[in-house]
Structure 1
């Protein structure tokens, strides 16, 4: 029996900090129950379709499965060889369209299911090109994995490892294929998995990423003796070429088995004729005539027989013989004849219009959705009329459970090849326009506030049940795809009119925009909405001069980006948090001010305009120490004190994956220059290298004696360098994972390492007030740059490798001649200590970060201060330029990463997600991605344009001090307080190597240009040089307090901040508990104002309290920015425990 404990208390007066009010505590469900629930959620998110249901649907659509029609293959020598011989693991069944491949595989599946032992696992997937849900490679893997886990529940552990890091997005984001492939491989290698059959039908109808799928089939079919594969497809050369890579493949070509196929078709004909005889009461003569015509003209094509019989089902018995003469042999000629009949009908134009719609939509649509996409005559008044029209197109369309689909991919091919001018008489773009305009009109007619009657403002999406009837039924397709169809329209006069004030689009944004966002949330399609809005914004810039509409749409984009997290998880927050916290001058807020929640009497005043923050990236549970873009700018990585590295999609702000593995704060993160790898450095003394795409840890550099502070890839991505707490810099070979050199020379902590861009020099910055310069190839100490009067935080090279900058607690930034060591400029302008400096990639600009909370941008030639960037609320620790010199990132103790425009000084976005201080940031070399390393132990990867967190890399056991990309962008190295360096795959986020050997914190790392070596500097007073592939330590150099910077191109010298080291001369050597609150309160994580423990108002990150007070219906929030927000609520609008009076 469940036991409860109630604790009473007063809710009066002003309580300092947080008021929890009366608490009702309940014992929580068991761990097993939580796991079961989590498993169900995981499988629900994994499923895009149920292959079992697809098989049943297809069999029903084709009139049922005839055993006698497929029995022949069970006795075929090739099939028996595949089934019985261990060395024959892949059977490819190929044939022309309509030859019955799908039904053949359905029969094989049934026979294998009946005959196989209980220990055998059978998983299959049936591709269909006309259905966007099941025509791409990731859908195939999701379906196969789903069926495998369904039959072997223990296999879900492989799915959960990825799912628990990033949730549903792991199956849907840009790196879904990599993650699913890793899951799939893990399952196939599971020792408990016995004989398994994997079957994929219609590979030719996998239209997206088919080559990836083919490569996987070819590779895996030769790797596991207990796994047998069957695939089918048309006989396409590209498929044959890919599958030929499979060394144990058997081909079964239906055209070479003409007699067997013809016999099967004859059986099918007898079955269909018997059905017609029973239905139409054929006499012996008519039956014989039909049978003979079908047998004489089928030419081994099941689809031809099915289409003819479908037409005969509507022909009176007396007209059958005459009608038979109208059916020519061959599928192509039959399609031509069927289309001619449509053209001759009284409804020809409507039928052709319908065919144009169905071949144009992005997924199969329902009868209800069709009415929102097409102009229907007044005579078409109900479903029966629509069904009749679809019936007239029966040779091309089929209707099942109210969903309209093309009968076969060959039907679509025919229409787009032969009848394109008939179904698109005015051009395909006109059909797109028709769908767009009808969709938007239907949306505008249907949508309204709280359309599902959820009532509760904080109702989470996972608790929303679809009502019956569902008011969104007819506009589900329209809501998601209307902008896609608009984008395919030519800029005709009509389209231009729709883009004017008072036009269709303008009216939509005036009246229905917030209702549409709510609907997108209910349809679980907010991410699609964000992408669509960004496309619309781009379209308007090139097609209209209507500045009012452009401004309105830009404001609407800012609104959805700002509120994305809240809207997609809580549909009604679009009207609550969305309108309360958007700027007072926001066009969207002003337009919908009547929708403001009436239960808030007093609202805090917001800023007049949108801030530069496009998106706030949330997911870290502690401070963010480092953030960096990947070099293709598609990803962003962040490192946090929560011990994780996160990888984000820089466009959408979506967190793609969370990389776990560090056991302490992650201090630094860096992408390799080819953006494939990510490296993270941690307080746990390790540097991990991850595959940025899959999140797999490829390298784990361990053995350091302390924190790894900074990690950096060499520009050729071959080496990784990092600085360790033990005063050393370590250089590792990324490929081997071997330590190439350990550089020692500093007398105090080494905080930063940097390679010169020609990879000849390596510089290290230290608390001993010096910058040491090293020969990156040999590790020889070249010179010590001494002029600062306090500890040196940061050092970096200009992109021409001629200049070096250093930033110090003495408040000065110094520019040095990298060759002579001469101090060329001393830049002073900050009011407090300078923590970090960075050159722009063109070497023309210099940026500095200070304790005064500001970032200054300087002319590197004259020393003139060009810009002072204000916006942080605490000291700025780190600045980094994008590789195109257009963007600048700054990292502050206020927990934020800001991205600035170096031309205007405008703050473009604020990246929040790390749970602790961000220690290091690095751009990818194409400036599209940013990686951050944090004291939360993680590295996060961000999209530099949108601010979306793409990946979170976890692997270090402590704070990450530094992160750096390799020069080819394939690798990322991170240096940590945990004494290790981790080399990551910058694409997948996978930890490739963990380099261990230092006895203290690693503070800086550097890659050689060919990415084979990695140098690391540690507080253990050594610099290590590692083989990045093997993680072997090649050299250990006793150098105190240095920062490693870079290798030369020959890997014989390693540059540190006190000189270049010659490497050629160095010898190798419990149950969750959730309290309940009564009245108003702040959620424990500070993200919600709650009422009786139910979420009421979502708080954006910048308005989350560092302190709070609650007194009856008034809440005061004190924010770290200095803002004080005061809310007063009208409790009469909130009745009962969590029950809300409608708006």
Structure 2
């Protein structure tokens, strides 16, 4: 029995390794070890309210602690996390940090919380590991799906006897999560905590009252949360706590009561002011008195806390360059400050001092001396392996705001710093990147076979940073792109090396978005440049070869180059890199064909595909009983929607793109596209549902069924609004008119029926020669496009001689052909034969019986002009 237990624990340990976790996110991580807790006898009232809520019977499962910058939110969060950790009641903690790499976004939020949960209690570890064993792809799916499977599920099935006390999840600085959609998604996840579970879960959230967060809580019912605004806590109570803090921090310095009172007034209720002032004074050593005088200059009004904070930052900076320097030396010090500290405040991921000096092409001594007198505002670790971080985000905001940082010698010109960093990233990559940088040798070595330490040894932190963020810095700078400039030359010489590095780092999909950003920058400046043509070709190269390069990095020089079309700019630029052992290269196309990329993920045939209204997502419905959402630009899988018990036959987006409707068997389901959460289930049909459509205002969903009826459902409530009856055969298609007043349906009975949505009355019946499977209204609602032709409403025949309103060129797909304006223009080879398709503009997405999804992009200008369909594809 003991042996079996050991095997199970070992298996669990292996499964937990599949969860990408951020160790620095935890309150007690090495990264957070020097961050303070509340001192005894401080924050008494606030902590008491949090404890009462967490341990009591309050039905509100979320506590939102909010306040302006510097009011002590994070210190309170760490204190609460520490206390509940010591009581074995802490579920997990996640401390966001802007500019902190993975800590600045939500990509690993759920997996990190799940990993910490598994480490807390054995009962939860087993549940989480069982969930991973059932679905090893869970970490690639939507945050909502991850939350449901990895967090809520295990909490629901854990044995109650093993966990009597509620567990507390602490989320700090949610406002420092840089993506607003991530913030909204996280708040959406937290709302589900109110679901009845075996274990009571409480969530403490701290943040500034930023608009996206306020909006998120506003959308959440007040039954789910309570809040406390820190900057509205009585000033007398806050001053008392600041007094205790100052006396404790400066206990080794003899201060008079009037001086302490002045410091308290200067703080203006901001703990960050008090903490910064105390660090500055303590660092003064023999000039302590002078520093106190410096801080207390001017009358201590304390009426505008932000201005008082700005003053202390200004004085710390002035002090850092004080000394017997001539003008030339001071100019050098200021220049070093703007370059080094400016980089620290705008970096997208913090770097250690040594890596920072390499990236900036500065000496270690320059970096060390520049930071030497800034320890009161920066966390400068003694260990060279640990990154330099801001002690508080308000320092970044001060330096980047020209109105607040009034000494222009210290003001950081954000765009200029980004331009300098972009240039330095290019320099670092050009110097470091090369073919087979990790000495893999064999071209077929897989990424999964590599030890991460080997990658880190050859791709140091500064190089990895440059590979990930060079275009982001470029985007935020004033740099103008030109043919044959540094950026163009870098792409010509190192594009394949860069892709290899990203693949080794597990970040190849980033390259698609990076190049999309670069393409937009180039296009705005010169739409016909050589660089733009190369970027366009490079994107095609990545999308076409992404799968193989992700698996085997060196194939970027082998398969990807060998099978690139003859006119490919990438192929031409790197032809010398082709393998010499291939004596006869295969015949390839002259140009890129129309297929942008093929996506794999479904385990069975694809029944339906649809574009979101903004074209950024594609939904695919499959016989494997799932719906997948794909990123149109990158081909990355965004969500996997599971819950249907039969094959999914149809899918549609709501007009605002926030919902997806899918049909399986006799049911219709609604899903949240952002979170992947299942929202509603509509039941009432007794026959299989074949088609689904949203009304133009998104308030209604129409479903067409083999039970010969169409049903209209209320999107918000799920209530059945109408049942439209009259067809004598199963209904195969349904669509709303542009104004939402009419619904058109097509049936096996070879009729199209037009219904009034308000009265449910049948307004027109049109007989057709064969069954219609595809319907759509023209923009003015006067005609119907069908796969049998164009129908004019209030007419009983197909339009022929009637003048029609002008419509854009119409793309469609049959089994073997892509057609434009009803004329065949592109034959589909057997491997691309379709089971379904969707069109948006010049982009076509195809679903296949193999389970694959394929994108095809057509050049409509060439097509209309009669040119080749294969140019610039």
Q: Same fold (TM over 0.5)?
A: yes
Which of 415, 438, 451 aligns to 2:399? It is 415
Tell me the distance in 2 between the aligned counterparts of 1:121 and 1:592: 54
For 1:788-817, what per-residue CA distance to the aligned partner results, in whole angstroms no more than 9, with x for missing partners?
5xx65545443433334544xxxxx44333
Question: Secondary structure at the residue paired with 1:560?
Answer: helix
CA contact (8 A) 2:607 2:623 kept: yes
Question: Secondary structure at the residue paired with 1:402?
Answer: coil
Query: If the length of structure 1 is used for normalisation, what is the TM-score?
Result: 0.62
CA contact (8 A) 1:50 1:143 kept: no
Compared CA separation, residues 49 and 201, structure 1 to 2 (3 A): same
Deviation at 1:662, TM superposition (A): 3.7
> After the TM superposition, which residues 534-933 of structure 1 pair with which residues of structure 2 at under 5 Å, given as runs?
534-544=516-526, 547-598=529-580, 600=582, 602-682=584-664, 684=665, 686-700=667-681, 708-725=689-706, 728-735=708-715, 736=718, 738=720, 740-741=722-723, 743=725, 745-746=727-728, 751-758=732-739, 759-766=741-748, 770-777=750-757, 778=760, 780=762, 782-787=764-769, 793-807=773-787, 813-825=788-800, 843=807, 849-850=813-814, 853-858=816-821, 868-873=825-830, 880-882=838-840, 897=854, 899=856, 901=858, 903-904=860-861
Which of 361, 377, 381 aligns to 1:396? It is 377
CA contact (8 A) 1:765 1:771 kept: yes
Match of 2:506 in 1: 524
> After the TM superposition, which residues 470-489 of structure 1 pair with which residues of structure 2 at under 5 Å, given as runs?
470-489=458-477
Match of 1:441 in 2: 427
Compared CA separation, residues 737 and 462, structure 1 to 2 (3 A): farther
Deviation at 1:535, TM superposition (A): 0.8
Match of 2:263 in 1: 297
Question: Secondary structure at the residue paired with 1:695?
Answer: coil
Question: Secondary structure at the residue paired with 1:815?
Answer: strand
Match of 1:862 in 2: none
Compared CA separation, residues 627 and 561, structure 1 to 2 (3 A): same
Deviation at 1:227, TM superposition (A): 4.4
1:466 aligns to 2:453 (yes or no): yes
Compared CA separation, residues 206 and 83, structure 1 to 2 (3 A): same
Q: Which runs of 5+ in 2 are unaligned?
A: 1-5, 298-307, 324-328, 865-872
1:328 aligns to 2:296 (yes or no): yes
Match of 2:335 in 1: 349
Instruction: Tell me whether 413-422 or 182-191 shows the greater mean CA deviation.
Output: 182-191
Which of 95, 99, 102 aligns to 1:133? It is 102
Question: Secondary structure at the residue paired with 1:469?
Answer: helix
Tell me the distance in 2 between the aligned counterparts of 1:102 and 1:796: 54
1:198 aligns to 2:173 (yes or no): no
Compared CA separation, residues 370 and 70, structure 1 to 2 (3 A): farther
Which of 86, 103, 117 aligns to 2:57? It is 86
Tell me the distance in 2 between the aligned counterparts of 1:816 and 1:72: 73
Deviation at 1:562, TM superposition (A): 1.7
Deviation at 1:93, TM superposition (A): 5.8
Tell me the distance in 1 between the aligned counterparts of 2:263 and 2:768: 92
How well do the aligned residues superpose, as a CA RMSD in angstroms? 4.4
Compared CA separation, residues 389 and 97, structure 1 to 2 (3 A): same
Compared CA separation, residues 95 and 702, structure 1 to 2 (3 A): closer
Match of 1:164 in 2: 135
Match of 2:302 in 1: none
Which of 44, 50, 57 aligns to 1:73? It is 44
CA contact (8 A) 1:713 1:719 kept: yes
CA contact (8 A) 1:720 1:733 kept: yes
CA contact (8 A) 1:798 1:840 kept: no
Deviation at 1:480, TM superposition (A): 0.9
Match of 2:869 in 1: none
Deviation at 1:744, TM superposition (A): 5.4
For 1:1089-1120, what per-residue CA distance to the aligned partner results, in whole angstroms no more than 9, with x for missing partners?
xxxxxxxxxxxxxxxxxxxxxxxxxxxxxxxx
Tell me the distance in 2 between the aligned counterparts of 1:267 and 1:555: 64
Tell me the distance in 1 between the aligned counterparts of 2:7 and 2:29: 37
The structure in which a higher percent of residues are strand is: 1
Tell me the distance in 2 between the aligned counterparts of 1:61 and 1:840: 71
Query: If the length of structure 2 is used for normalisation, what is the TM-score?
Result: 0.80
Deviation at 1:619, TM superposition (A): 1.3
Match of 2:300 in 1: none
For 1:721-747, what per-residue CA distance to the aligned partner results, in whole angstroms no more than 9, with x for missing partners?
455456x24424254354843645446
Tell me the distance in 2 between the aligned counterparts of 1:452 and 1:731: 60
Q: Look at both structures and tell me which one has the larger radius of gyration over its CA atoms.
A: 1
Compared CA separation, residues 54 and 534, structure 1 to 2 (3 A): farther
Aligned pair count reads 810
Identify which of structures 1 and 2 has the higher relative contact order when contacts are C-alpha pairs closer than 8 Å and 6+ apart. 1
For 1:958-1011, what per-residue CA distance to the aligned partner results, in whole angstroms no more than 9, with x for missing partners?
xxxxxxxxxxxxxxxxxxxxxxxxxxxxxxxxxxxxxxxxxxxxxxxxxxxxxx
1:360 aligns to 2:343 (yes or no): no
Deviation at 1:556, TM superposition (A): 1.1
CA contact (8 A) 1:368 1:474 kept: no
Tell me the distance in 2 between the aligned counterparts of 1:237 and 1:690: 25
Match of 2:367 in 1: 386
CA contact (8 A) 1:138 1:177 kept: no
Match of 2:254 in 1: 288
Which of 6, 11, 14 aligns to 1:37? It is 14
Q: Which runs of 5+ in 1 are unaligned?
A: 1-28, 274-286, 808-812, 828-838, 859-864, 908-946, 948-1143
> After the TM superposition, which residues 9-48 of structure 1 pair with which residues of structure 2 at under 5 Å, given as runs?
37-41=14-18, 43-44=19-20, 47-48=21-22
The structure in which a higher percent of residues are helix is: 2
1:450 aligns to 2:436 (yes or no): yes
Compared CA separation, residues 573 and 267, structure 1 to 2 (3 A): farther
Match of 2:389 in 1: 405
Compared CA separation, residues 658 and 611, structure 1 to 2 (3 A): same
Tell me the distance in 2 between the aligned counterparts of 1:473 and 1:817: 65
Compared CA separation, residues 167 and 561, structure 1 to 2 (3 A): farther
Question: Secondary structure at the residue paired with 1:403?
Answer: coil
Deviation at 1:91, TM superposition (A): 6.0
Question: Secondary structure at the residue paired with 2:751?
Answer: strand
Tell me the distance in 1 between the aligned counterparts of 2:235 and 2:214: 15
